A and B are shown apart, each in its own frame.
Chain A
Amino acid sequence: MTGEPLLDVRDLVVTYAGDAGDAGDAGGAGDVRAVDGVSFAVHAGETVALVGESGCGKTSVAWALMRVMAPAARVGAGSSVTFDGADLFALEERAMRDLRGRKIAMIFQEPASALNPVMKVGAQVAEVALLHGERSKRAAWDKAVAMLDRTGIADAARRAHQYPHELSGGMRQRVLIAMALMMRPALVIADEPTSALDVTVQAQILDLLRDLQRETGMAVLFITHDFGVVAELCSRAIVMRAGKIVEDAPVDEIFHAPKDPYTAELLRAVPRLAADR
């Protein structure tokens, strides 16, 4: 890749205050280093997988990038994240809030808990536009319906008036995608967005993300444990283990000539249909 990266992560460290440690001190003895010196870059329009097993630190990276952290979590003093030229960790909370949702958006695994159960889904999508400068409620609602329609929700104008519990899991995930893409962000961080879905629904959502990515030119950081999904959607994969990056390479290399023995071990363990071998 040439040119300045859209996202440049340097030496990211995230620690969680442990029982034995002093919560006020990032260097406490009982602290757990969930992310232990991670550096990588994402260029505009790229789809990059951040892949690894549970507890490897991939989700902690995502939360740190969004600057939405658990109270016990601390970012290391030497860590830096540059997004579109701005130093994310130096931004005022106000500026960060403006960036979040407008330029960087996130899609979560569990649409059921990420959506407000007592608010119409159309209003939740429209709210993103209202938070980011749209003055007319009518215009925001129309944009929301158009966006819901774009994510493949049939009869979007009617569905917009429904509540989350009236929609299927796949449809709820489409609503979250609509919310994330409302402001046409330059970067979407997707944290296991299809892991809770059935395979047939997952296949549809992956197709949708691929189409939207092509259409909008957004970059996607796709956090997953599923190598099948990595192969389907991503051009590059970053493999994490125990808070560190063990390998960062184009997917073809990851799958066909992994350099790190841990990557190779993971790939051997991935269950695959005999017919697909």
Chain B
Amino acid sequence: MIDSLGPKIEDRSSKIHVSVDHLTHEYPARHALFGAPSAPTRAVNDVSFAIARGETLALVGESGCGKTTTGRAILRLIEPSSGGVTFDGIDVLGLAREPLRKLRRRMQVVFQDPNTSLDPRMRVGLTVREGIEAHEIAEGAAADARVARALEEVGLRASDAAKLPHEFSGGQRQRIAIARALAVEPEFVVLDEAVSALDVTVQAQVLALLMQLQRDRGLTYLFIAHNLAVVERIATRVAVMYLGRIVEIADAAKLYASPQHGYTKALLSAVPVPDPRVRKKRLTWDGT
């Protein structure tokens, strides 16, 4: 009995890729000219979860719930107030500048709006190439070949490297942002509302692309989104955030079939049904 349990437990823990422990992030108090300062805002309040290698954990919730702040804290794009983040056992928050820079090759991010995340005056090839050179993965002709391959992998042409962002549609620009993130061959990617701004037909294509790339490369995703119907397509597990806290975390199939928390139920009941013959009963959540 003990023999058969032992390796199983070990197996499970060795699969943990990213772990977040009691993460808290406070924004400092606002100081009014007169009177007492307001209390600091807890954007993220004691959040813990683990992501296994190869899975997609979705972080969902409404605006201001802390999901984006959590994603940024994991990548140390912001310094959280307290708590821990480990990446394959490495203490991310304790890393010095240089080892953190090296680790960044393994964890990448794609943001919502490619219009602001891509430099409008920089040719697309250079944008993709930047990371390859910064992380000393390749240079010269070898770097060119990598840029070409990265563009082709997201469904663009190698010749697109010579173009500027404005020559592409919104969906194509998001593909460029994905190519840039994947060109350095990361293991973990934070997708922060990465398909939210896209039209539905383009959104479906980009989601399919992300899932294909995940299968091909064994990528691990943290998928931050507000659209529960989109999340259902891609997530292995779902964590629901409300006012800085995780109120429910479960396997995706289980969460959608039988949500446990009142807030999750309210959120699911508010998603409009694209069928005029169906009227869904709306549930409300009073926040207690």
A residues adjacent to B (C-beta < 8 A): 53-54, 169, 198-203, 206-207, 225-232, 251-252, 255-256, 265-267, 269-276
Q: How far is the CB of A56 from chain B (nearest CB, A)?
A: 9
Which residues in B have their C-beta under 8 angstroms from that of A255?
A: 274-277
Q: Is residue B230 contacting chain A, with contact meaning CB distance below 8 A?
A: yes
Give which listed residue, A256, A265, A276, contacts B273 with CB less than 8 A. A276
Q: Is residue B159 contacting chain A, with contact meaning CB distance below 8 A?
A: no
Say yes or no: A273 contacts B229, CB within 8 Å.
yes
Give which listed residue, B200, B268, B282, contacts A269 with CB less than 8 A. B200
Say yes or no: B267 contacts A54, CB within 8 Å.
no
Which residues in A have their C-beta under 8 angstroms from that of B204?
A: 269, 271
Q: How far is the CB of B235 from chain A (nearest CB, A)?
A: 12
Residue of B whose beta carbon sits closest to that of A56: B199
Say yes or no: A271 contacts B275, CB within 8 Å.
no
Interface size on B, residues (CB 8 A): 34
Say yes or no: A231 contacts B272, CB within 8 Å.
yes
Give which listed residue, A200, A207, A231, A274, contacts B274 with CB less than 8 A. A231
Q: List the count of A-B residue pairs having beta carbons below 8 Å apart.
A: 97
Say yes or no: A203 contacts B282, CB within 8 Å.
yes
Please report the C-alpha to C-alpha distance between residue A226 and residue B270 in the assembled complex, in whole angstroms.
14
Pairs of residues from A and B, 8 with the lowest C-beta to C-beta distance, nearest first: A228-B272, A271-B229, A198-B62, A53-B199, A199-B270, A269-B200, A203-B270, A227-B274
Say yes or no: A53 contacts B63, CB within 8 Å.
no
Q: Is residue B153 contacting chain A, with contact meaning CB distance below 8 A?
A: no
Say yes or no: B273 contacts A228, CB within 8 Å.
yes
Please report the C-alpha to C-alpha distance between residue A255 and residue B273 in the assembled complex, in whole angstroms.
11
Please report the C-alpha to C-alpha distance between residue A265 and residue B284 in the assembled complex, in whole angstroms.
33
Once A200-B62, A272-B229 are accepted as A-B contacts, the answer to whether A228 and B274 lie under 8 Å apart by CB is: yes
Give which listed residue, B203, B229, B232, B267, contacts A200 with CB less than 8 A. B267
Give which listed residue, A198, A203, A266, A274, contacts B272 with CB less than 8 A. A203
Q: Is residue B226 contacting chain A, with contact meaning CB distance below 8 A?
A: yes
Which residues in A have their C-beta under 8 angstroms from that of B270?
A: 199-200, 202-203
Say yes or no: A199 contacts B271, CB within 8 Å.
yes
Q: How far is the CB of B176 from chain A (nearest CB, A)?
A: 18
Please report the C-alpha to C-alpha distance between residue A44 and residue B275 in the assembled complex, in whole angstroms.
24
Say yes or no: B229 contacts A269, CB within 8 Å.
no
Residue of A whose beta carbon sits closest to that of B199: A53
In B180-229, which residues have CB < 8 Å from any A CB?
199-201, 203-204, 226-229
Q: How far is the CB of B201 from chain A (nearest CB, A)?
A: 4
Q: How far is the CB of B179 from chain A (nearest CB, A)?
A: 22
Q: Is residue B257 contacting chain A, with contact meaning CB distance below 8 A?
A: yes
Say yes or no: B227 contacts A271, CB within 8 Å.
yes
Which residues in A have their C-beta under 8 angstroms from that of B267?
A: 199-200
Say yes or no: A256 contacts B257, CB within 8 Å.
no
Say yes or no: B273 contacts A54, CB within 8 Å.
no
Q: How far is the CB of A48 from chain B (nearest CB, A)?
A: 13
Give which listed residue, B199, B203, B232, B274, contacts A267 with CB less than 8 A. B274
Say yes or no: B232 contacts A273, CB within 8 Å.
yes
Q: Is residue B233 contacting chain A, with contact meaning CB distance below 8 A?
A: yes
Please report the C-alpha to C-alpha distance between residue A117 and residue B277 in the assembled complex, in whole angstroms.
41
Q: How far is the CB of A155 from chain B (nearest CB, A)?
A: 18
Please report the C-alpha to C-alpha distance between residue A226 and residue B200 in the assembled complex, in whole angstroms.
9
Contacts A/B (CB < 8 Å), 6 sampled: A198-B226, A207-B282, A231-B274, A266-B201, A269-B203, A276-B275
Which residues in A have their C-beta under 8 angstroms from that of B232?
A: 271, 273-274
Residue among A53, A199, A267 with the highest chain B CB neighbour number at 10 A: A199
Say yes or no: B200 contacts A276, CB within 8 Å.
no
Q: How far is the CB of B187 from chain A (nearest CB, A)?
A: 27
Which residues in A have their C-beta under 8 angstroms from that of B247?
A: none
Which residues in A have their C-beta under 8 angstroms from that of B266?
A: 200
Please report the C-alpha to C-alpha distance between residue A228 and residue B278 in the assembled complex, in whole angstroms.
11
Residue of A whose beta carbon sits closest to that of B266: A200
Once A54-B199, A199-B226 are accepted as A-B contacts, the answer to whether A273 and B271 lie under 8 Å apart by CB is: yes
A-B contact sample (14 more), CB < 8 A, given A228-B273, A228-B274? A53-B199, A199-B62, A199-B270, A200-B285, A203-B272, A203-B282, A232-B273, A252-B277, A255-B277, A269-B203, A271-B203, A271-B227, A273-B229, A276-B273
Once A271-B233, A273-B228 are accepted as A-B contacts, the answer to whether A226 and B272 lie under 8 Å apart by CB is: yes
Which residues in B have their C-beta under 8 angstroms from that of A275?
A: 256-257, 268
Which residues in B have their C-beta under 8 angstroms from that of A232?
A: 272-273
In B99-133, which residues have CB < 8 Å from any A CB?
none
